[in-house]
């Protein structure tokens, strides 16, 4: 468990920190302030989006700073978090589940423009099979599509990586939400709700 | 500290089950008193000002409750002024639930949050939500379990509502589009929380909070709620009758204050973990610095249980850069065992959290812990669980497997090293059944409120609480909008506390609310220099006032 010090560049600043730290910890360790772009610090909030280039590599990757350990020679740039324009829809407006597929393209018209370039797959920091998920949703296979987005943290990088400005993460979330809204009907829950409604349960203090 | 070094302890470890439980030799009350951090000597002080004057309070919390404001009336000259019916402060689970519900009632809603919408402890919640839905369970059992775990110090009316509302809350969440784990017939699966008498927690893998937060955030974005992100509230506003009348927002990206006049304010600003009480690591979000308690206290709201915090038994202790982050209690529900460095089992894993945490701290204090570079811990015997139920980690705990990969510790192969981590603020602002604080016009919901959990919270009651009371507060607030709003809205309430603090000779250099942990260097950040510049102006003002008063 020997601590090795490494030097890197974050937002243009030279930073020296132990290699046992992630990018945010290293930046703080070197005395630089960082507030926006910091969130849960465990990879589920999607706030700390960074562009990273490693030494001897021409490739720039998109990652989450709290999930990426600092390395010798690494160059890092924090990305500001822009809240993209949303596709608006209300689940309550779907009168029944037969209509969902027909309305999907009204809500997400860009989906039919997908060029299958794989940009979204490349930038996803959670290694989600994004393009495939969008394709499944376009075929109306919402439950299957939603399953691919279980680990999605809504960092919006896939949208940044899409030349057609599809919001794949929002498509994934849509697929998950309609699945729950129309298809989760647990009998144990419904029985209990009924019993409570009939007044079968009361609490004695 | 005595103990066995990590490498040596790991080489001694073997997959084996089941292990006998060692006799504790200490009664629970004694165990808590000797080892739970709430009972550490000199960790609490008496509050000198405010509605809780004379009450015991954690030293670090007392410091922020009795801090000086970052602003005064001077700072508000010529700033942008907005008006809304309901102002929700906080963009986590409670805030989003309240905003969605209030908007459904057709009133104007604005939601202000310190960071990004959804950045909160909710998104990090793993275990699940309690709802008594199994045939072997009743709301009464939920009620009794919650009271018992909280050492019978909870507000019974709040707990009754909590227990009765569980099933309805799960239904509401499904209708928002949230998924839960179901069996092949579509029935909800349940887990048994530590300290409960029946399986009662519904969940989604170990991503329950993430699933919930994505859905609630999307719901907020799809209804008529004005969202102000990166806008921490620095103080609440009052009117001439002492009614809460809005808030002062700062804006991290534009260096400017905004005054929001509101007919009702719902405070849902979360907890306090990032104050690192008693130098503990925390499982909390970066923004959890107890701001809401400070805001409410300055306005005169009564708080409770300010010396009681939850230390979650299973925080990660190795690798060191992940110290404090959470391993869900769901792993214990699934049957994992906790072992000391000698491989002995020393505590019933499904006891309440305060009990298990104190037992772990005791093992480490008495030299039976595993030593790392920076700390100490005990084993969470995950490989044995994987052996007994092959594939369980991949199926049920993908987040843990992910985190293991990141720290080069595969929980299926190597036991996880754990130590209690600061997790939850048991107390908070006193509320009634509609989430109303003792200050008219100010509602408090979610972790910032107090009274539901007594001195110890059960797994799954936090996610439940924030929906139950987030919805109740929003409905009540929307139905009771004051006709006459916005009269003589000011920071007048600050001057009384300021005078009192000065009279007592308190150190006025510390400015609250804290907003961010010290290590983020907020006060030196050139991006936010205007906000800090105004603090300097405020300090000058305070000095002049002091000169004048003497």
Q: List the single residue in B with minimal CA-CA distance to A85.
A: B221
Distance from CA of A116 to the nearest CA of B (A): 26
Check residue A37 and give its pLDDT.
Answer: 86
In degrees, rounded to 5, the angle at the alpha carbon of residue B230 between the alpha carbons of residues B227 and B232 is 95
CA-only gyration radius of chain A, Å: 22
Query: Residues 6 or more apart from B503 whose CB is under 8 A from it?
Result: none
Token pair 């596709």 in the structure block, residue: A87
- Quick: pLDDT tens for B421-471: 999 999 999 999 999 999 999 999 999 999 999 999 999 999 999 999 999
Dihedral angle over CA of B100, B106, B108, B109, nearest 10 = -10
Q: Name B326's bridge partners.
A: B315
Mean per-residue pLDDT over chain B, rounded: 93
- Quick: pLDDT tens for A89-102: 999 999 989 999 99
For chain A, the maximum distance between any two Cα atoms, rounded to a whole number of angstroms, is 70
Check residue B548 and give its pLDDT.
Answer: 63
In degrees, rounded to 5, the angle at the alpha carbon of residue B243 between the alpha carbons of residues B239 and B249 is 70
Residues A103 and A173 in one domain: yes
Q: Provide the sign of the torsion angle of the four alpha carbons B425, B430, B432, B435, taken in this order.
A: negative
Residues A74 and A118 in one domain: no
Say how many CB pairs under 8 Å bridge A and B: 183
Percentage with pLDDT > 90 across chain A:
87
Q: List the single residue in B with minimal CA-CA distance to A179.
A: B177
Contact A203 B402 (CB under 8 A): no
- When pLDDT is cut at 50, 70 and 90, the band that residue A137 belongs to is very high
Last residue of a domain, one of A46, A78, A110: A78
**Which H/E stretch holds residue A131?**
helix A130-138
- Measured between alpha carbons, how far is residue B417 from residues B6, B177, B407, B414, B486 in Å? 9, 36, 12, 9, 54
- When pLDDT is cut at 50, 70 and 90, the band that residue A177 belongs to is very high
User: Which of B69-73, B346-350, B486-490 has the lowest average pLDDT?
Assistant: B486-490
Mean pLDDT to the nearest integer, B356-374 = 96
Catalytic residues of B: 353
Contact B214 A154 (CB under 8 A): yes
Mean pLDDT to the nearest integer, B250-267 = 88
Residues A23 and A101 in one domain: no
Q: Is residue A10 helix, strand or coil?
A: strand
**CB contacts, 8 Å: A151 with chain B:** 207, 398, 402
- Quick: pLDDT tens for B521-533: 887 766 565 455 4
**Beta strands at B256-267 and B442-444: parallel, antiparallel or unpaired:** parallel
Structural domain boundaries enclosing A148:
91-183
Position A195 in a domain: no
- When pLDDT is cut at 50, 70 and 90, the band that residue B320 belongs to is confident
* Of residues A84, A30, A31, A39, the one with CA closest to residue A65: A39
Cα distance between residue B328 and residue B201, in whole Å:
12
Contact A203 B403 (CB under 8 A): no
Check residue B526 and give its pLDDT.
Answer: 63
Mean pLDDT to the nearest integer, A52-80 = 94
CATH number at A72 reads 3.10.20.740
Position A203 in a domain: no
* Of residues B268, B226, B290, B258, the one with CA closest to residue B422: B290
Domains in chain B with CATH codes? 4-35+312-422 (3.90.700.10), 73-308+426-479 (3.50.50.60), 493-549 (no CATH)
Mean pLDDT to the nearest integer, B324-344 = 95
Mean pLDDT to the nearest integer, B206-231 = 96
User: Which of B28-42, B317-331, B359-373, B533-547 has the lowest average pLDDT?
Assistant: B533-547
Written as one string, the DSSP assignment of B296-326 is: HHHTT--EE-TT-EEEEEEEE-SSGGGTT-B
Contact A203 B163 (CB under 8 A): yes
Six token digits for residue B359: 């037992």
Query: Residues 6 or more apart from A147 whose CB is under 8 A from it?
Result: none
Which of A86, A91, A193 faces B167 most closely, judged by CB atoms? A193
Q: List the single residue in B with minimal CA-CA distance to A2.
A: B373
Check residue B545 and give its pLDDT.
Answer: 60
Residues A97 and A179 in one domain: yes
Query: For chain A, what is the domain count?
Result: 2
Last residue of a domain, one of A28, A56, A78: A78
Token pair 């040596």 in the structure block, residue: B8
Residues A19 and A71 in one domain: yes
- When pLDDT is cut at 50, 70 and 90, the band that residue A186 belongs to is very high
Contact B286 A40 (CB under 8 A): yes
Check residue B547 and give its pLDDT.
Answer: 64
Residues A99 and A175 in one domain: yes
Q: List the single residue in B with minimal CA-CA distance to A38.
A: B286
Residues A60 and A98 in one domain: no
Q: Name B256's bridge partners.
A: B251
**CB contacts, 8 Å: B133 with chain A:** 186, 188-189, 191-192
Position A205 in a domain: no
Residue B5, pLDDT above cutoff 70: yes
Which of B182, B319, B521 faces A33 most closely, judged by CB atoms? B521
Check residue B133 and give its pLDDT.
Answer: 98
**Beta strands at B44-46 and B233-238: parallel, antiparallel or unpaired:** unpaired
Mean per-residue pLDDT over chain A, rounded: 93
Last residue of a domain, one of A47, A78, A109: A78
Cα distance between residue B293 and residue B395, in whole Å:
39
* Of residues A109, A69, A61, the one with CA closest to residue A89: A109
Residues A65 and A121 in one domain: no
**CB contacts, 8 Å: B252 with chain A:** 35-36
Q: Evaluate whether B90 touches B117 at the Cβ level (below 8 Å).
A: no
Residue A2, pLDDT above cutoff 80: no
Dihedral angle over CA of B504, B506, B508, B513, nearest 10 = -100
Check residue B487 and give its pLDDT.
Answer: 74
Residue B252, pLDDT above cutoff 90: no
Residue B237, pLDDT above cutoff 90: yes
Cα distance between residue A160 and residue A123, in whole Å:
9
- When pLDDT is cut at 50, 70 and 90, the band that residue B491 belongs to is very high
CA-only gyration radius of chain B, Å: 23
Residues A116 and A176 in one domain: yes
Which of A22, A153, A203 faces B139 most closely, judged by CB atoms? A203
**CB contacts, 8 Å: A43 with chain B:** 402-403, 406
Position A197 in a domain: no
Position A135 in a domain: yes
Check residue B419 and give its pLDDT.
Answer: 98
Q: How close are the terminal C-alpha atoms of chain A, in Å?
A: 55
- Quick: pLDDT tens for B389-417: 999 999 999 999 988 888 889 999 999 99
**CB contacts, 8 Å: B373 with chain A:** 1
Residue B219, pLDDT above cutoff 70: yes
Check residue A168 and give its pLDDT.
Answer: 96
- When pLDDT is cut at 50, 70 and 90, the band that residue B540 belongs to is low
Check residue B381 and give its pLDDT.
Answer: 97
Token pair 């499982």 in the structure block, residue: B283
Residue B314, pLDDT above cutoff 80: yes
Q: Evaluate whether B304 touches B439 at the Cβ level (below 8 Å).
A: no
Residues A74 and A99 in one domain: no
| Phi, psi (deg, nearest 5) at residue B51 | -65, -20
- Quick: pLDDT tens for B269-303: 999 999 999 999 999 999 999 999 999 999 999 99
Check residue B220 and give its pLDDT.
Answer: 96
Check residue B406 and give its pLDDT.
Answer: 83
- Quick: pLDDT tens for B497-508: 899 999 998 888
Position A156 in a domain: yes
Check residue B496 and give its pLDDT.
Answer: 86
Position A83 in a domain: no
Classify B78 in phi/psi space as left (phi over 0), alpha (psi -120 to 50) or beta: left
Q: Which of A68, A146, A184, A185 to mutate to test the interface with B (most CBs of B within 10 A)?
A: A184
- When pLDDT is cut at 50, 70 and 90, the band that residue B550 belongs to is low
Dihedral angle over CA of B56, B61, B67, B73, nearest 10 = -110
Q: Name A76's bridge partners.
A: A10, A52
Q: Evaluate whether B429 touches B293 at the Cβ level (below 8 Å).
A: yes
Residue A15, pLDDT above cutoff 80: yes
Mean pLDDT to the nearest integer, A151-164 = 94
Check residue B288 and give its pLDDT.
Answer: 97
Question: What is the layout of strands, in order, in the sheet containing A13-18?
Answer: A13-18, A5-10, A75-78, A49-53, A60-64
Taking residue B540's Cβ as centre, other Cβ atoms within 10 Å add up to 11
Taking residue B524's Cβ as centre, other Cβ atoms within 10 Å add up to 12
| Phi, psi (deg, nearest 5) at residue A114 | -50, 130
Q: Name B444's bridge partners.
A: B267
Mean pLDDT to the nearest integer, B183-201 = 97
**Beta strands at A5-10 and A75-78: parallel, antiparallel or unpaired:** parallel
Which of A20, A47, A152 faces B115 most closely, judged by CB atoms? A47
Written as one string, the DSSP assignment of A192-204 is: HHHHHHTT-----
Position A201 in a domain: no
Query: Residues 6 or more apart from B228 whose CB is under 8 A from it?
Result: B110, B111, B112, B113, B249, B251, B258
Residues A74 and A95 in one domain: no
Encode A18-31 in three state secondary structure. Answer: ECCCEHHHHHHHCC
Residues A52 and A99 in one domain: no
Distance from CA of A58 to the nearest CA of B (A): 24
Six token digits for residue B395: 């199926």
Distance of CA B38 to the CA centre of its chain: 16
Q: Give, as one character, the DSSP assignment of residue B414.
A: S
Check residue A84 and give its pLDDT.
Answer: 67
- Quick: pLDDT tens for B89-137: 999 999 999 999 999 999 999 999 999 999 999 999 999 999 999 999 9
Q: Evaluate whether B309 touches B58 at the Cβ level (below 8 Å).
A: yes
Q: Which of B134, B179, B252 to mutate to test the interface with A (most CBs of A within 10 A)?
A: B179
Cα distance between residue B533 and residue B544, in whole Å:
17
Classify B28 in phi/psi space as left (phi over 0), alpha (psi -120 to 50) or beta: alpha
């Amino acid at each position: 468990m020997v601590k090795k010090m490494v030097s890197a560049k974050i937002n243009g600043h030279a930073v020296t920190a132990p290699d046992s730290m992630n990018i945010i910890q290293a930046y703080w360790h070197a005395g630089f302030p960082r507030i926006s772009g910091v969130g849960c610090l465990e990879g589920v909030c999607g706030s700390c989006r960074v562009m990273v280039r490693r030494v001897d590599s021409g490739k720039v990757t998109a990652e989450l700073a709290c999930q990426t350990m600092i390395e010798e020679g690494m160059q890092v740039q924090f990305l500001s978090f822009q809240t993209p324009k949303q596709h608006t829809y209300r689940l309550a407006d779907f009168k029944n589940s037969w209509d969902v597929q027909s309305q999907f393209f009204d809500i997400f018209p860009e989906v039919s423009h997908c060029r299958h370039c794989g940009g979204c797959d490349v930038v996803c920091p959670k290694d989600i099979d994004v393009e495939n998920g969008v394709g499944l949703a376009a075929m109306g296979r919402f439950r299957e599509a939603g399953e691919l987005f279980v680990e999605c943290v809504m960092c919006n990088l896939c949208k940044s990586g899409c030349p057609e400005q599809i919001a794949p993460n929002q498509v994934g979330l849509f697929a998950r939400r309609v699945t729950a809204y129309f298809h989760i009907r647990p009998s144990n829950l419904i029985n209990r709700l009924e019993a409570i409604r009939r007044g079968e349960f009361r609490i004695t203090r | 500290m005595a103990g066995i070094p990590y490498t040596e302890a790991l080489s001694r470890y073997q997959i084996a089950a089941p292990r006998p439980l060692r006799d504790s030799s200490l009664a629970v009350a004694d165990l808590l008193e000797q080892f739970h951090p709430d009972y550490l000597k000199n960790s609490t002080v008496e509050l000198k000002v405010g509605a809780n004057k004379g009450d015991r309070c954690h030293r670090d919390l007392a410091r922020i409750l009795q801090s000086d404001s970052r602003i005064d009336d001077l700072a508000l000259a010529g700033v942008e002024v907005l008006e809304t019916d309901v102002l929700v402060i906080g963009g986590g689970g409670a805030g989003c639930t309240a905003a969605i519900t209030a908007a459904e009632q057709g009133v104007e809603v604005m939601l202000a949050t310190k960071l990004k919408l959804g950045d909160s402890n909710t998104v990090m919640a793993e275990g699940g939500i309690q709802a008594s839905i199994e045939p072997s369970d009743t709301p009464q059992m939920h009620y009794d379990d919650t009271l018992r775990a909280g050492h019978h110090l909870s507000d019974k009316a709040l707990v009754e509502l909590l227990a009765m509302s569980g099933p309805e809350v799960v239904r509401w969440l499904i209708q928002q589009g949230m998924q839960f784990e179901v069996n092949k017939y579509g029935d909800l699966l349940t887990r048994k929380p530590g300290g409960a008498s029946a399986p009662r927690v519904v969940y989604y893998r170990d991503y329950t909070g993430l699933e919930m937060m994505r859905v609630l955030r999307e719901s907020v974005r799809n209804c008529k709620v004005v969202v102000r992100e990166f806008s921490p509230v620095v103080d609440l506003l009052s009117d001439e009758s002492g009614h809460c009348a809005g808030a002062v927002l700062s804006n991290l990206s534009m260096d400017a204050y905004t005054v929001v006049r509101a007919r009702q304010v719902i405070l849902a600003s979360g907890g306090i973990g990032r104050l690192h009480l008693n130098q503990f690591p925390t499982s909390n979000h970066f923004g959890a610095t107890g701001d809401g308690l400070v805001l409410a206290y300055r306005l005169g709201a009564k708080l409770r249980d300010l010396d009681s915090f939850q230390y979650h038994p299973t925080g990660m202790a190795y690798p060191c850069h992940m110290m404090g982050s959470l391993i869900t209690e769901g792993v214990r529900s699934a049957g994992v065992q906790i072992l000391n460095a000698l491989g002995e089992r020393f505590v019933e894993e499904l006891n309440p959290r305060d009990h298990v945490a104190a037992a772990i701290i005791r093992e480490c204090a008495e030299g039976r812990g595993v030593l790392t570079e920076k700390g100490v811990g005990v084993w969470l015997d995950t490989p044995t669980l994987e052996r007994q139920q092959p594939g369980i980690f991949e199926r049920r705990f993908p987040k843990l497997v992910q985190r293991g990969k990141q720290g080069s510790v595969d929980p299926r192969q190597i036991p996880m090293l754990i130590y209690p981590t600061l997790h939850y603020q048991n107390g908070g602002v006193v509320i009634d059944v509609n989430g109303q604080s003792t200050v008219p016009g100010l509602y408090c919901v979610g972790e910032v409120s107090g009274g539901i959990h007594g001195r110890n919270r059960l797994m799954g009651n936090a996610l439940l609480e924030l929906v139950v009371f987030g919805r109740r507060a929003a409905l009540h607030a929307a139905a009771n909008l004051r006709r006459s709003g916005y009269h003589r809205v000011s920071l007048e309430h600050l001057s009384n506390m300021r005078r009192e603090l000065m009279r007592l000779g308190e150190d006025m250099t510390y400015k609250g609310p804290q907003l961010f942990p010290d290590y983020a260097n907020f006060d030196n950040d050139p991006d936010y220099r205007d906000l800090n510049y105004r603090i300097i102006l405020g300090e000058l003002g305070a000095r002049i006032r002091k000169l004048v008063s003497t």
